Structure formats: C-alpha cells, structure tokens
Amino acid sequence: MSVEAILTELVKIESVNPRFAQASRGEEGVAKWVMQFCQHHGIDHRAQLVESNRANVLAWVPGREPDTRVLFEAHMDTMPAPGWKKNPFGAERQGARLYGRGACDTKASLAAMLEALVSIRDSRPRPTTVVAAAVDGAGTKAGARALAHSGAGYEAAVIGEPTNLEPVLAHNGSVRWQIETRGRAAHTSKPGTGVNAITKMVRVISAVQEQIPLKLATHVHPLVGMPTLTISMIEGGIDLCIVPDRCVIGIDRRLVPGETPSDALAEVEAILAALRTEDPTLEVRSLPAVEDPPVEAPATSRIAQVVMRACAEVTGTGEPRGVPYGTDASQLAPQGVTCIVLGPGSIEQAHTTEEYVELPQVEAAVDIYRQIMLTY
C-alpha cells in the first residue's frame, strides 16, 4: 500500500477533535483503521485508552536492543472544517497536492510513519521502534501525556508536524490565564456610587502593555526569537445602564526555551502587586493558568544528529530550526525524552480551509523516517 493510499484513507475518515465539535466521534475511526492496517501487515500493535472512546494506537517493530525505545508520534485528530468549497474529507488529489482536513496536520506524518514502519519490519533495527497514533493533539495533548506517563522509557522521539521536512529542535511553550478585576455595581445615573471594574482593568492593561515588552526583549532565543504576550480576550459589564462590577481579560504568553510558566506568571504578578500598592481600592487577581512548557533538544544529541543527517541526505533540509508554535513534544520532553519535530507539509496550511499537502514531500518523509529508524 503506497503512502498516498494510506494518507487518502486517513483523510477520508472524519476525526475532528470532540473538544471542538461535540457531535464528532473523534479519533475512533482512524484508530480502528490504523489497527486494521497493522494487523494486515503483521505489525505488533495495541490500543492505549486515554479517555472514554479515545485511544492512542501503538505499533512497533522489536529491536536488537529491545529496552532502547524510539518513538515516532503523530496525532490523529483534526480541527473542525467550516467554510470549505471542497469536501473536507474527500481526499481529493489535484496535481501533486492532496486536499482534506488533516492532510497536512498531521495525517501526512502519520501515513509516512506507518509506511516507514512496515518497510523496516524485517530489518531488526537497533532500538525497538514505536509509531504512536495519538489522540487530542489539537486539544489538551491528552494522548501525548498518556504516552509520556506510560512508563515505556522512550529515549528519543520524532514528533510529526508540518515542518516542510526541516528538523525542528526548539519550539515555544505557552501559559494562558485570566486576570479579573472586581468593582461595585451601581446605576449609571449615579456612577460615583459604584466602582467600575472595566476602568480598573484599563489600568492593568496599560501597565502590562507598557512594562512586559521590556522584559520580553531580555529573553531572545537563537532559534525561536523573542517571547510574546497577547491580551487576546476581554469581557465585562452586563448592561448599558449598570456600572460593571467585574471585568476579565485573557492572556496568551508564549514561552521560549529557557523560560518557565512560573517565571512568566511572576512577571505579571509583580505588575499587579505594584498597582495594588498605588491604588488600595484595586481588586485584581490572576485565575488558574494552563501551562505548556517549551521544548529544546541539543543539536549534539544522538536523535538530532541522526535526523539532521537523514534530512540532509534525502532532501537537503538538515539545518536545525525553531518554531513559535507548540507540539506534543511539550508533554514528552519534561519526562526526559529528547524530541525532534519533523514532518511533511507547511504549517501555513494547518487549520486552513482547503488544507493540502504536497505528495512528493510525504514520499520523501517515508525515506527520512525509514533512515532514522534504521540508523538511530
């Protein structure tokens, strides 16, 4: 079965993440197909239950050193597909492109990993080579988290994401949280009898926007650049005639390797503390954060060297890169797994309408993954 045929079958199976579309059945159909594929090709495999009706699929080829394990992981879920002119699950080919939701992000990587695994089935690689089709990559990364805490002891991992077959050694993490100001409601005909939570929040926003960029400029990373902070949401007030007693903003702070979520939170907390000192009537607090750490693999690590050499030999794309987005590597790296992000397709296609992947890149990915599997 060619890698194009594998990818076509995967794209035809709707696997929208149910966190974003409750009517979706999630990854169930893709997981069943992958297990049938493994059974047909004589590949050892099993399901790893992650959540109700959501399971990772693990397939492996035993190695000469069975206790050394290398993981190849790609997520099965996709984002919803509104606004498409084509059938998002039609897997339509036009020229060298295959269109469909998930074609690029990340079913192309999964298809290439499966094809590469079948090709080494009888080769007895040094490590045990595991391909994991994971759930929830576009959501909370629950599938990758389950892999990280499975006790399998992976020495290294290749995470499939659309990198144009450039080896990504570093990527950003994130910490996302809300800041809340409280006031006192009153009728707007007598606003002085109340405390306007929106007005209080304006002071918070102004201070954060003024002071944080200076701090971010001190954390520049050679591969991913400077971290960012975005105030991305705001909510306040319940009626035009009522002084608002509550206002909330949402913050997305992107972390570069070397930063921690606690450091980023502390920078903002210091600003809030100073504002409270200046204005004792200010009631402001940070709500619990969602944290996703950054990732960086040493260029001198065995997996980085093997990946860069394979990319250089197959496509000439062996220079180490950094990217601003996050991946499932953020769950594996903190457990001591050295992770490289690598896959066919462009991140510019991820989550877009009319998403596609260039098939020659998918075919090249098979060669690169195979070489990594055989030479690690």
Supply the pLDDT for residue 270: 97
pLDDT on residue 25: 87
Rounded CA-CA distance 330/296 in Å is 9
CATH of 3-171+294-375, picked from 3.40.50.1220, 3.90.1570.10, 3.40.630.10, 3.30.420.40, is: 3.40.630.10
State the Cα–Cα distance between residues 196 and 141, nearest whole angstrom: 39
Count of C-beta atoms within a 10 Å radius of residue 191: 13
Helices (H), the chain: 3-12, 28-40, 108-119, 142-148, 197-216, 261-278, 302-314, 329-332, 359-375
DSSP assigned state of 347: G
Alpha helices in 99-248, H assignment, sequence order: 108-119, 142-148, 197-216
User: Distance (Å, rounded) from C-alpha 213 to C-alpha 124?
Assistant: 52
Rounded CA separation 252/175 (Å): 6
Mean pLDDT per 10-residue interval, the chain, length 376 residues:
96 96 91 98 97 95 95 97 94 97 97 98 95 95 97 96 98 97 97 97 98 95 96 97 98 96 96 97 96 96 98 95 96 97 96 96 98 98
Residues 6+ apart with CB under 8 A from 334: 148, 293
| Cross-strand pairs, 78 | 16
CATH placement of domain 173-292 = 3.30.70.360
Task: Give CA–CA dist 81/352, Å, rounded.
Answer: 8
**What does the radius of gyration of the chain's CA atoms come to, in whole angstroms?**
23
- Gap between the Cα atoms of 264 and 253, Å rounded: 7
Rounded Cα–Cα distance for residues 278 and 282 (Å): 9
Contacts of 32 (CB under 8 A, 6+ apart): none
Domain chopping of the chain, boundaries: 3-171+294-375, 173-292
For residue 266, what pLDDT is reported? 97
3-171+294-375 shares its CATH topology with 173-292: no
Helices (H), 228-285: 261-278
Q: What is the pLDDT of residues 201-225, one digit of tens each?
A: 999 999 999 999 999 999 999 999 9
- Which candidate, 70, 14, 52, 13, places its Cα nearest to that of 36? 13
Residue 22 has what pLDDT?
A: 83
At residue 172, the pLDDT reads: 97
Tokens representing 283 are 């009631």
Exposure class string for 106-117: b at 16+ Cβ within 10 A, else e: bbbbbbbbbbbb
How many Å from the N-terminal Cα to the C-terminal Cα in the chain?
Answer: 25
* Range 308-339 burial, b when 16+ CB lie within 10 A, else e: bbbbeebbebbebbbbeebbbbbbbbeeebbb
Length of the chain: 376
Name, in order, each residue with C-beta under 8 angstroms of 308's C-beta and a sequence gap of 6 or more: 167, 299, 318, 319, 320
The tens digit of pLDDT for each residue in 153-206 reads 999 999 999 999 999 999 999 999 999 999 999 999 999 999 999 999 999 999
Q: What is the pLDDT of residue 1?
A: 86
Residues 6+ apart with CB under 8 A from 327: 137, 159, 161, 171, 295, 341
Distance CA 251, CA 201 (A): 13
Query: What's the confidence (pLDDT) of residue 52?
Result: 87
